[in-house]
Amino acid sequence: MAAAFRKAAKAGQREHRERSQLSSRKQLGLLEKKKDYKLRAEDYHKKQNALRALRRKAQERNPDEFYHRMTRVQLQDGVHLEKPQEEECSLEQQKLIKTQDLKYIEMKRVAEVKKIERLKSELHLLEAEGKQPNKHTFFFDTKREVQEFDVAAHLNTPPELLGRVYNRPTLEMLKTEPIRGATLPVQLKKLARQRKSQYNLLKQRIERERKMFVVAQKLQTRKDLLDKTRKVKVKKETVNRPAIYKFNLQRKR
């Protein structure tokens, strides 16, 4: 009964508030209130506790103890610097892995391979690179025919193109689609630009197919990891290859 009476008496009491700073003392700075002191005290004790914990951790530290970050950090001029890690997966590969399925990637890669083969069949010199050049032999009956023989006239091609062993156009081919007001060297430059653009396109498609193959390998590796068999990582994943795991040999019945 007495406790209930005290509670009722406190409920009716006047609330005592801390008075505000006098205008005449504002020139001396802000007057610290109790809430300000409380915040400052809590911050001070928090920092002291952190320093105390770090000091105890340094005293109890074992200098021979090994931790895994040692393999990624090296000491230079008394400063610990983390070694640069090799990038495991590019941003484009991450997007494909998260959004696309393995079958879709394989389907796109096979389509890219077919386009590459089609381009290779159009560019005849591609398979001949690095091989021994072919020889074109002409046979004559007399020495006079050999002396009077003109290779350009016989092959029906401009003399500027005799050194070309691939896609050598004839004079009729150059006349069928001439460039208005252009000479023969200008037409040859146009053919060279077209051939260069084809090779650039082929190079881009080969690089795209290689990237898709790497993404497909990474997806297949993630799929194999879903198995409950024990495996050990041998090599880390990089941009150009998936992670390599070693699986325990298990005899199947």
Please give the backbone phi and psi of residue 52, each rounded to the nearest 5 degrees, phi first. -65, -40
Give the separation between CA 249 and CA 73, rounded to whole angstroms: 35
Average pLDDT, the chain: 78
User: Is residue 241 within 8 Å of residue 158, measured between CB atoms?
Assistant: no
pLDDT value of residue 129: 47
pLDDT value of residue 124: 58
Give the separation between CA 88 and CA 13, rounded to whole angstroms: 69
Q: Which residue has the higher pLDDT, 237 or 135?
A: 237
Torsion sign over Cα 190, 191, 192, 193: positive
Asked if residue 176 has pLDDT above 80, the reply is no
Q: Which residue has the higher pLDDT, 25 or 239?
A: 239
Give the separation between CA 210 and CA 217, rounded to whole angstroms: 11
pLDDT value of residue 55: 94
Instruction: Kindly state the percentage of the chain with pLDDT values over 70.
Output: 77
Mean pLDDT of 125-131: 47
pLDDT value of residue 186: 67
Distance of CA 246 to the CA centre of its chain: 25
Q: Please report, for the chain, the start and end positions of each structural domain, with discontinuous segments joined by +.
A: 91-128+196-247
43 band by pLDDT with thresholds 50, 70 and 90: very high
pLDDT value of residue 50: 96
Mean pLDDT of 84-98: 70
- pLDDT tens digits for 192-222? 777 788 888 888 888 889 888 988 888 888 8
Q: Which residue has the higher pLDDT, 33 or 56?
A: 56
- pLDDT tens digits for 21-39? 777 666 667 778 888 899 9
Q: Between the CA of residue 169 and those of 12, 68, 161, 200, 248, what are the distances in Å?
A: 110, 66, 8, 22, 61
